[in-house]
Amino acid sequence: MFDYIKKKLEKRRIKRNFSEYGSQVYEYALPDFGLVKFAKWLNPLDEVRNITQGQVNFYKKFLHPGDLAIDIGAHIGDTAMPMALTVGKQGLVLAFDPNPHVFKILLQNVELNKELTNIVPINVAISAYDGEFFFNSSEATFNNGGISETAQNRHGKYGLQEKVKGLNLENLLRTSYSEYLDKLRVIKIDAEGYDIEIIKSILPVIQKYKPHLIVECFKQLRKKGRDHLYDTIADLGYDLYYMEDFDDQAKLELIKRDDMSNWRYFNILAVPT
């Protein structure tokens, strides 16, 4: 009991006090690639993030060598890396994250397997319009967080001293990556409740290229917002699935509009019908 209380108090202390955390590089033996390196953030509040063959096999269901994948809210690169291994050196993964504390680890991971992958890290938020935004977190370590137009917002009381840059994704793709658009196969969005705004801002891209979508259903999203998220994606011509995990053996469950409140937090895989 004493150890439990001690650990809880220590976690509370970490949440309330900012510290810089480095990284440690691990090696994973994957059957398709041999040894793959991945840098983990040493923030004690970060979840356990590993790279597995099962993750790569998950993306193989809808990604092929040479394809384009987009990771919005890439964090340290734990989803960008298996995407990049799947599409290979001839493919491209665009990895976006505005958080400077996780972005420095993402930069490390971009460099670790360059003979196998092609990841372009971009330190911006994807937003409905180009501009500058406040970035706030519920933890002083900035292990989580999201953008807002106001300094006081739902993401938490800990804010970055400087605003972060936001870019409209459609404009960026058409001006800088137009040659890859015909091979756009996956867009993953994890934006702490801003996901619906991002989807709306890239409707023409989704309608034309019909990529698979992986979208977070944010834990603070209420029923009205969850219904709106479901309707927006379904109306674009997609079937929505509950994702148990980013692994080829994890459960996928077809969901309907009434199912959106069955879980406090989950990821949605949207498959073109």
The total number of residues shown for the chain amounts to 273
pLDDT of residue 2: 64
Confidence of residue 8 (pLDDT cuts 50, 70, 90): confident
Question: What's the whole-number mean pLDDT along residues 128-157?
Answer: 94
Residue whose structure tokens are 């459609």: 170
Looking at residue 29, what is its pLDDT?
97
Average pLDDT over residues 43-55: 96
pLDDT of 30-45, one tens digit each?
Answer: 999 999 999 999 999 9
- What is the average per-residue pLDDT within 119-148? 96
98 vs 7, more confident:
98
pLDDT in tens, 198-211: 999 999 999 999 99
> Is residue 7 very low, low, confident or very high in pLDDT (cuts 50, 70, 90)?
confident
Least confident of 61-75, 144-158, 244-258: 144-158
Taking all residues of the chain, what is their mean pLDDT, rounded to a whole number? 95
Mean predicted confidence (pLDDT) in 13-23: 94
Reported as a single tens digit per residue, the pLDDT across 174-190 is 999 999 999 999 999 99
**Average confidence (pLDDT) over 215-234:** 96
User: How much is the average pLDDT of 70-95?
Assistant: 98
Model confidence at 133, pLDDT cuts 50, 70, 90, reads: very high
% of the chain residues with pLDDT over 90:
94
Provide CB contacts within 8 A for 144, sequence distance 6+.
137, 138, 155, 156, 192
Instruction: Give the global pTM.
Output: 0.96
CATH top-level class for 2-236?
A: alpha beta
pLDDT of residue 259 exceeding 70: yes
Q: How confident is the model at residue 1 (pLDDT cuts 50, 70, 90)?
A: low
55, two tokens:
């993750």
**pLDDT-based confidence at 272, cuts 50/70/90?**
very high
